[in-house]
Amino acid sequence: MMNATKLLTRKTTYFLCFCLIILLPKHTFAAACVTPSFVTFGACTTEGEWGYDGANNAYRYCNGSLYVSMTSSTTAGSCAGVTESALDYDTGLNNFKFCNGTNWIEFSNDSSAGACAVAGRIDYNAPTKDMHACNGTTKNIATETTGDAGSISVTGDVSWSWATGLDSGTYNETHTITVTNNGACDQTITTVAVLPENDCSASPFAFCTGAVEGYKVFTENCTGTLNAAASCTIDVKAQIIIPAGGDSNVPGTLRVITSTITEDTSLSIYGCDGVGVDATLC
């Protein structure tokens, strides 16, 4: 027969085990982060050289040491009857496509590299060692990458206008933009810029006189690392100068560049003097 001391000890042991089962935390697993890398086709020596690679059925360019693929995974229909390597700028797609012997394949679009005006133009950019393909408004970076960096998105108050009734003059407002990391990898915010910043380069708009108008990022809370599935905010100060009897409309681009991703978001501010015929415009 079990004595009282042994029975108490066994019951205490059961109780402690039960508590450990309940209190020990469960393991949590985050999605694997695979840093994106270029898809390459071997060594090269002539930087800026580009063309069709028949062995890999892809367009590629030389970045000075390696051939880098310009191909995406997006097909644009059959190219039966078309010569393999045929290259075409598709105005409907706003992108280049080429025949790989079976299908039309679009060029890769690994973020953007600023504005451009000549649709269908391809240039090699030596400082950044990548190919730029102009779609008429934006230079797409035609570099194929592999990995799981995800994406970043920019949301918030990116377009605003002044209400009816304002007289001509200078007006300032601050608007908050949210940057969200949608990927499995942490992102390091390296640059936040507003394009164009024009003459309003000193904070807060010390040089804005006459008809000058524009934006400036004056508070950036997205410093350092933006963790996966996290967000941060950027305050954008906008200034508009409304001439008497007239109106102003200022387009711009907010560019957020992380360690691996670039996101561009259109900004616009609009206002009119709100008197006379302009009262119907605001």
Per-residue pLDDT for the chain (282 aa), expressed as one digit of tens each? 445 444 444 444 444 333 333 333 333 334 467 767 788 899 999 999 999 999 999 999 999 999 999 888 788 889 999 999 999 988 888 888 999 999 998 888 777 777 888 888 888 988 888 888 888 888 888 888 777 777 888 888 777 776 555 667 777 778 888 888 887 788 888 878 776 554 444 444 443 444 556 666 666 778 778 888 889 888 887 777 777 667 777 777 788 888 777 787 888 777 777 666 555 555
Task: Write b or e for each residue in 71-83: b if 16 or more Cβ atoms lie within 10 A of its Cβ, otherwise e.
Answer: bbeeebeebeeee
The dihedral over CA atoms of 134, 138, 142, 146, expressed in degrees to the nearest 10, equals -170
Please choose, from the candidates 81, 79, 39, 80, the residue with its C-alpha nearest in 3D space to the C-alpha of residue 59. 39
Contacts of 110 (CB under 8 A, 6+ apart): 130, 140, 141, 142, 143, 144, 145
Residue 105: its H or E element: strand 103-107
pLDDT of residue 217: 66
pLDDT of residue 144: 82
The dihedral over CA atoms of 213, 219, 224, 228, expressed in degrees to the nearest 10, equals -80
CA distance 168 to 264: 31
Q: What is the DSSP string of 32-66?
A: PP---EE-EEEE--STT-EEEETTTTEEEEE-SSE
Q: How many CB atoms sit inside 10 A of residue 230's CB?
A: 13
Name the residue type at position 143.
Answer: T
pLDDT of residue 280: 57
pLDDT of residue 163: 56
Burial of 130 (0-12, 13-18, 19+ CB in 10 A): buried
CA distance 118 to 89: 12
Domains in the chain, CATH or no CATH each = 37-146 (no CATH), 152-274 (2.60.40.10)
Q: What pTM, to 2 d.p., does this model score? A: 0.49
